[in-house]
């Protein structure tokens, strides 16, 4: 059985051919994604490259994922920031969506206008535990119906408000789905039903891109979001399959031109006896997407999030030259640094900082608290300090001569001790960029996908 997997990315379309009999990857290839005309043009260009390398390919099954046109852009609404709003964000991110903004309580007129300006594909509306507050979610539903735009709404809040929400959305003409509450009880997560709804609506939305519907017909399988494919690969590699053990706890870093995505496969329980969990518990498999920390299309916001002097010190390049290079890349995102140049050192310093900030946002935060028993520590989020493996994904890491230096941004920093990041991880590299492909393959042959992941993943 020959499987061909295709990742229709926002910049590149990446193919991988896998032979189930030999249990090996026959070859990989990529070409520019032709989102402006028909994505099948980029697919066939990549296929020609693949065949020029391995010979004529007759594949049995084609399985695809996509982040073309920027992927799935979402807005999430909840009631309390650290409860239902956070649950909404976790559900959206785990489904492979790019959560652009999260809102809490009743949205204001200014926030209503901001959502219209964002022009999301989907809106996840949450709020209230079952039988609890219903005024906020119904008020927000009415406000969402006043927003112009072609977006779908997933309501995953207080079940007591479901009948009223049904009437509100039906009369508005908006596309909507009502599903189970993401937080039916206080501090109890239930994100799977909302995640499935997001995945289904993604399929309907993404195939509207030119050629994707026809590519899906060629495949016979539903196209899923690329981040969801990566998430599945991470879960498979962590937990294993059918008697084949996985790696256990791990973290993966996907550094791209528009976002930096962090995946953690870990319960994240407190690692110290005097540390207490605080706030909403988080799922074993967690993804966070930082839309302001990309190496090119989000470079202006990445520049704002850091300090030029830090990049200068890390790269050993004068601050004025760093500034000049960043401005050049912002003006022309296709700019590529010359190998072994000062600009390449700036690129690697930027990549390290992007990973550092993204990992801090993903990891749990520790704070000192005082109790009748004396000083203790409160953990909000996941304690990832004992995670033994960090996996690097993405072109900036794969093409670097020193990926360890970049991935070190994910490691615990004693000067920023409040972030529960991995203390002593081993670093691995997805050198053939196969994570999304193996995530796709896991849906039909998880054992094969797991064996290839374990064999191809290289410690660096």
Is the pLDDT at 153 greater than 90? The verdict is yes
Mean pLDDT of 83-110: 82
Structural domains of the chain, ranges and CATH numbers in brackets: 2-69+210-244+433-459 (3.30.420.40), 71-205 (3.40.50.360), 250-429 (no CATH)
- Cβ neighbourhood burial of 416 (10 Å; 0-12, 13-18, 19+): exposed
Percent of the chain past pLDDT 70, that is, above it, reads 97
pLDDT in tens, 258-271: 788 999 999 999 98
| Contact partners, residue 422, CB within 8 Å, separation at least 6 | 251, 384, 385, 386, 387, 388, 390, 410, 411, 412
pLDDT of residue 375: 81
Is the pLDDT at 324 greater than 70? The verdict is yes
199: three-class secondary structure by DSSP? helix
pLDDT, the chain, mean: 89
pLDDT of residue 136: 93
Residue of 458, 455, 451, 421 lying closest to 20 (CA atoms): 451
Strand 365-371: give its sheet, edge to edge: 275-278, 374-380, 365-371
pLDDT of residue 202: 73
pLDDT of residue 206: 63
Q: What is the DSSP letter of 267?
A: -
Residue 373 pLDDT class (50, 70, 90 cuts): confident
pLDDT of residue 427: 97
pLDDT of residue 323: 92
Longest dimension (CA), the chain: 73
Mean pLDDT of 110-118: 94
Residue 336 pLDDT class (50, 70, 90 cuts): confident
pLDDT of residue 364: 93
- As a whole number of angstroms, the distance between CA 47 and CA 57 comes to 9
Element (H, E) at 255: strand 250-255
Residue 300 pLDDT class (50, 70, 90 cuts): confident
Instruction: Considering only residues 245 and 298, tell me which one the structure prediction assigns the higher pLDDT.
Output: 245
Q: pTM for this one? A: 0.83
pLDDT in tens, 194-239: 888 887 777 666 666 556 777 878 888 888 888 889 999 999 999 9
Instruction: Considering only residues 88 and 140, tell me which one the structure prediction assigns the higher pLDDT.
Output: 140
Residue 166 pLDDT class (50, 70, 90 cuts): very high
Mean pLDDT of 58-81: 83
Residue 68 pLDDT class (50, 70, 90 cuts): low
Residue 297 pLDDT class (50, 70, 90 cuts): confident
Mean pLDDT of 380-400: 91
pLDDT of residue 71: 60
Is the pLDDT at 374 greater than 80? The verdict is no
* 451 token code pair: 């064996």
pLDDT in tens, 415-458: 999 999 999 999 999 988 899 999 999 999 999 999 999 999 98
pLDDT of residue 227: 84
């Amino acid at each position: 059985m020959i499987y061909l997997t295709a990742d229709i990315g926002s910049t590149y379309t990446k193919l991988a051919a896998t032979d189930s009999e030999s249990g090996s990857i026959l070859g990989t290839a990529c070409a520019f994604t032709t989102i402006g005309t028909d994505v099948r043009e980029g697919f066939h260009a990549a296929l020609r490259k693949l065949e020029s390398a391995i010979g004529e390919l007759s594949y049995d099954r084609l399985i695809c994922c996509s982040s073309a046109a920027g992927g799935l852009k979402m807005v999430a609404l909840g009631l309390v920031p650290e409860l239902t709003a956070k649950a909404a964000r976790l559900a959206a991110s785990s489904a492979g969506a790019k959560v652009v903004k999260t809102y809490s309580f009743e949205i204001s007129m200014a926030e209503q206008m901001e959502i219209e300006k964002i022009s999301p594909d989907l809106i996840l509306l949450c709020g209230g535990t079952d039988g609890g507050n219903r005024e906020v979610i119904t008020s927000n539903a009415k406000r969402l119906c006043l927003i112009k735009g072609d977006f779908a709404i997933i309501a995953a809040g207080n079940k007591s408000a479901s009948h009223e929400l049904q009437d509100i959305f039906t009369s508005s003409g908006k596309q909507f789905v009502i599903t189970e509450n993401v937080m039916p009880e206080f501090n109890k997560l239930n994100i799977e039903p909302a995640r499935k709804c997001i995945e289904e609506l993604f399929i309907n939305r993404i195939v509207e891109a030119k050629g994707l519907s026809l590519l899906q017909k060629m495949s016979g399988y539903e196209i899923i979001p690329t981040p969801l494919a990566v998430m599945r690969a991470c879960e498979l590699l962590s937990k294993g399959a059918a008697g084949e053990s996985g790696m256990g706890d791990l973290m993966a870093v996907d550094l791209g031109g528009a976002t930096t995505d962090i995946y953690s496969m870990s319960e994240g329980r407190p690692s110290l006896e005097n540390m207490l969990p605080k706030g909403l518990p988080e799922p074993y498999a967690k993804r966070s997407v930082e839309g302001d920390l990309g190496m090119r299309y989000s470079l202006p916001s990445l520049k704002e999030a850091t300090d030029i002097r830090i990049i200068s010190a890390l790269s050993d390049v004068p601050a004025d030259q760093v500034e000049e290079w960043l401005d050049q890349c912002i003006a022309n995102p296709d700019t590529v640094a010359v190998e072994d140049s000062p600009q390449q050192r700036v690129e690697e310093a930027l990549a390290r900082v992007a990973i550092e900030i993204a990992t801090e946002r993903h990891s749990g935060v520790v704070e000192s608290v005082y109790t009748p028993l004396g000083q203790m520590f409160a953990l909000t989020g996941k304690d990832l300090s004992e995670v033994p493996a960090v996996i690097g994904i993405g072109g900036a890491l794969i093409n670097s001569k020193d990926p360890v230096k970049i991935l070190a941004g994910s490691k615990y920093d004693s000067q920023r001790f409040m972030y529960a990041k991995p203390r002593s991880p081993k670093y691995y590299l997805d050198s053939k960029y196969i994570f999304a492909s193996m995530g796709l393959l896991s849906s039909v042959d998880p054992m094969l996908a797991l064996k290839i992941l374990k064999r191809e993943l290289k410690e660096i």
